[in-house]
Amino acid sequence: MNKEGRGVMIQGPVQERLQISPFMAAYVIISMQIGIGVLGFQRIIAKDAGTDAWISVIGAGLTIHIIVWIMYKICETVNGDVLDANVYLFGKIIGNSINTLFIFYYTVTCAAVLGGLFEIIRTWMFQSLSSFWFAAVYLLLGIYIVYGGFRTVAGISFFGLVIPFYLLFSFGFALQYGDFTNLLPIFDHSFIQLVKSGYHMSLSYLGYGILLFFYPFIKKPEQSKKFVHIGLLATTFIYAALAVITFAYFPLGLLEKSIWATLEMWKIVRLPILERFEYLGIANWALILLPNIALSLWVASRVTKRIFHISQKKSVIFIALACLIIVVLISTRERLNVLFDYTALVGFALAYVYTPLLYFSLLIKKKVKAK
């Protein structure tokens, strides 16, 4: 055990030159949360709770702080990441078998995000766009970023949020056409309906589980906690504000038919130098989703390196090829929806079931070994 008696780091400590500053951890997590879901979550959460769904957005956002607190405890207990935790708890064979599942999950997640972006670009801009060539070029960029190491990946996460930040102000155009009486009466739905809506909202929030993998890459990780929680509050505020604006702008009957409500609100934005603002928004979203792709490739390739001792620069190529194949196979909207549903379900189980169980199991084993 380490000198604090918290556990054993199976892998050696990460060199300081490869680590990121504590405040950068917030950008990494937020960049994974701001993804495809932002463009169309409003219709999904409104199915159960109607215009009260903004309450579910806030409620689901608050539960994330508990899960992230547990994730920090897991990493502190083993003085490492989730891969160390599984090996410490279950042994090398079973632990690495469980860790292998993360390779598949993040590979499929990468493909789902890329497939979603392709579907939006094909629907709104270029109908004859080839899924193969689009995904190939995007994945090559993701591989190039991963080759730069985790600090480069974190830097892309930072710029992927800061540069397109101005898009938030574009929703002010929807405010002048909004009717906030659409949100009345408040608390007009049952607690069960709000919980169901919160469940669907929690699927859009997914991505913060990346903390379990890059924890060893944070300098003084205990100092990163406040930044991460502030970042989670910022994400919750963005989603909640966007939900309120959407419910004020769209009547519920129209919202039920709007697959990408966020994009449709951009259609009313008119600037002297730009007629179709949604084209600019989609182009910027390609930048916003780049950290999603890079981080997913980084996690999958790092887990492969840890388990199978294959160079991360080699493994990321094979993982990217697997993503490319999946994107080509899910080129229809129906297949993409199925992939989104299963990926979200697994992500929810990992966050709200697996993470607490892993933490309590570590506590039990720690007490047993102490006795």
Residue among 306, 226, 202 at smallest CA distance from 25? 226
Q: Is the pLDDT of residue 5 over 60?
A: no
Q: Is the pLDDT of residue 22 over 70?
A: yes
109 domain residue, yes or no: yes
Q: Which two structure tokens, joined as six digits, stand for 61?
A: 């956002």
Q: pLDDT tens digits for 259-299? A: 899 999 998 888 888 888 889 999 999 999 999 999 999 99
272 domain residue, yes or no: yes
Q: Which two structure tokens, joined as six digits, stand for 131?
A: 């899924």
**Model confidence at 8, in pLDDT bands (50, 70, 90)?**
low
Residue among 300, 215, 165 at smallest CA distance from 28? 215
Q: Cα–Cα–Cα angle for 85, 88, 89, nearest 5°?
A: 85
**Model confidence at 236, in pLDDT bands (50, 70, 90)?**
very high
Domain of 41, in residue numbers = 18-172+181-357
How many alpha carbons fall within 13 Å on the CB side of residue 318? 13
Output the pLDDT for position 6: 46
Output the pLDDT for position 2: 43
What residues pair up with 271 in beta bridges, in sequence order?
Answer: 274
Provide the total of helices (H) and of strands (E) in the chain, helices listed first.
18, 0
**Model confidence at 238, in pLDDT bands (50, 70, 90)?**
very high
CATH number of the domain enclosing 107:
1.20.1740.10
- Confirm if 79 and 9 have CB atoms less than 8 A apart: yes
Mean pLDDT check: name the lowest of 1-5, 109-113, 193-197, 214-218: 1-5
**Model confidence at 9, in pLDDT bands (50, 70, 90)?**
low
SS3 268: coil
Q: Is the pLDDT of residue 84 over 70?
A: yes
What residues pair up with 218 in beta bridges, in sequence order?
Answer: 20
d(CA 132, CA 140): 12
4 domain residue, yes or no: no
11 domain residue, yes or no: no
3 domain residue, yes or no: no
Longest Cα pair distance anywhere in the chain, in angstroms? 73
What domain count does the chain have? 1
Q: Residue 15 has what DSSP assignment?
A: P
Q: pLDDT tens digits for 110-137? A: 999 999 999 999 999 888 899 999 999 9
Q: How far is CA 214 from CA 64, 81, 273, in A?
A: 18, 7, 42
Q: Is the pLDDT of residue 171 over 70?
A: yes
Output the pLDDT for position 1: 41
Burial label for 127, CB within 10 Å (0-12, 13-18, 19+), is: exposed
d(CA 141, CA 135): 10
363 domain residue, yes or no: no
d(CA 157, CA 201): 22
- Confirm if 208 and 60 have CB atoms less than 8 A apart: no
d(CA 51, CA 41): 13
d(CA 195, CA 53): 9
Output the pLDDT for position 12: 66
Output the pLDDT for position 273: 82
362 domain residue, yes or no: no
d(CA 74, CA 99): 15
SS3 271: strand
Between 9 and 85, name the one with better pLDDT: 85
Q: pLDDT tens digits for 211-229? A: 999 999 999 999 999 999 9
